[in-house]
């Protein structure tokens, strides 16, 4: 991490970092160099393009450097985010120099159908290869509080992640935390090595196994039986009915012959 590493690490722990310290900019630049190295390592191992995602306020080199320096002064932290094609979530990295902790996390959208029990089960089934100390945080609809448990706790008791009042789970945040190395040089026990290791652990144990939820395609209804067109009904008229109709017709004709014609009305004077 370069000659500035020790001064920035100790300054972060003592909360003595200040803007204008030339070590800050050097440390921030080294951090982004490490992030680019991790993305290249993943590209080599996965055979696909891995890109760093920058927040809108950090799109230029100057604003990115400024944001990292601000974060070091205020919180003693640096951050980064990597996008891996077809992964269910991005890989977020954060180094806390004050606490000497490195975290790698990802955010997985929960299924939009079913209840909380089914959503937790959907996630746990896909974490068979994840380490027991993976922390799972369930973000709840219309609530600031979240439900949190380690993977080992969730496997033994999934109810620890169920929200109250049967509210919906919107998202899962999965996080691995490791102690940060203190050595500035590369190699075992170094800061750089600990960041690389936790990045690959999260991908190999979580991201490469989790498939993002997709809604089921709409289904056609059951086919209805074909409608049979109405058949023409043939009425069989018996001979007696036919004879009665003919007799009635003859009687009407006889009556008409016997009835004298009505004389025309006389015209007035």
Domain boundaries, the chain: 5-207
Calpha distance 197→191 (Å, rounded): 10
Cβ atoms 213, 111 nearer than 8 A: yes
Choose between 74 and 253: higher pLDDT.
74
Confidence of residue 221 (pLDDT cuts 50, 70, 90): confident
- Lowest-confidence segment of 17-26, 78-87, 126-135 by average pLDDT: 17-26
Calpha distance 202→211 (Å, rounded): 14
Calpha distance 44→47 (Å, rounded): 5
* Phi, psi for 10 (deg, rounded to 5): -70, -35
pLDDT at 269: 45
Which residues does 11 contact at the CB level (< 8 Å), separation at least 6? 17, 21, 23
Sheet of 77-83, strand order: 51-52, 77-83, 91-96, 101-109, 169-179, 135-140, 146-150
- Lowest-confidence segment of 74-83, 98-107, 129-138, 242-251 by average pLDDT: 242-251
Buried b (16+ CB within 10 A) or exposed e, 144-176: eebbebebeebeeebeebbbeeeebbbebbbbb
Q: How many CB atoms lie within 10 A of CB 84?
A: 21
CA torsion sign for 159, 164, 167, 170 is negative
Statement: the pTM of the whole predicted model exceeds 0.85? no
Nearest to 10 by CA among 94, 103, 73, 98: 98
Calpha distance 192→30 (Å, rounded): 10
Calpha distance 5→191 (Å, rounded): 9
Tell the burial category of 208 from Cβ atoms under 10 Å away from its Cβ (0-12, 13-18, 19+): middle
What dihedral do alpha carbons 83, 87, 88, 89 form, nearest 10°? -20
In this structure, the strands spanning 135-140 and 146-150 are antiparallel
Confidence of residue 189 (pLDDT cuts 50, 70, 90): confident
Which tokens in the block code for residue 250? 């003859």
First to last CA, the chain: 136
Distances (CA, A) of 10 to 13, 101, 133: 5, 14, 28
Q: What is the pLDDT of residues 150-181, one digit of tens each?
A: 999 999 999 999 988 778 999 999 999 999 87
């Amino acid at each position: 991490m370069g000659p500035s590493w020790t001064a920035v690490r100790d300054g972060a722990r003592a909360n003595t970092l200040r803007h204008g310290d030339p070590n800050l900019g050097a440390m921030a630049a080294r951090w982004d160099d490490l992030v680019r190295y991790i993305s290249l390592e993943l590209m080599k191992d996965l055979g696909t393009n891995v890109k760093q995602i920058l927040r809108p306020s950090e799109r230029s080199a100057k604003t990115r450097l400024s944001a990292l320096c601000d974060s070091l002064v205020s919180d003693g932290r640096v951050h980064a985010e990597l996008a891996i094609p077809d992964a269910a979530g991005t890989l977020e990295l954060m180094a806390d120099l004050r606490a000497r902790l490195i975290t790698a996390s990802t955010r997985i959208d929960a299924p939009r159908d079913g209840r909380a029990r089914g959503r937790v089960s959907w996630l746990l089934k896909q974490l068979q290869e994840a380490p027991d100390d993976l922390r799972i945080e369930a973000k709840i609809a219309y609530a600031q509080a979240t439900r949190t448990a380690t993977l080992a706790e969730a496997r033994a008791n999934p109810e620890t992640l169920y929200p109250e009042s049967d509210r919906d789970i919107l998202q899962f945040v999965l996080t691995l935390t490791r102690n940060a190395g203190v050595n500035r040089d590369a190699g075992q026990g170094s800061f750089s090595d600990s960041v690389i290791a936790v990045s690959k652990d999260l991908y190999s144990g979580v991201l490469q196994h989790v498939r993002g939820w997709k809604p089921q395609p709409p289904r056609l209804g059951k086919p209805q039986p074909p409608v049979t067109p109405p058949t023409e009904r043939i009425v069989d008229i018996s001979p007696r009915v036919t004879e009665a109709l003919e007799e009635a017709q003859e009687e009407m004709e006889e009556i008409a012959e016997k009835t004298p014609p009505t004389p025309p009305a006389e015209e007035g004077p």
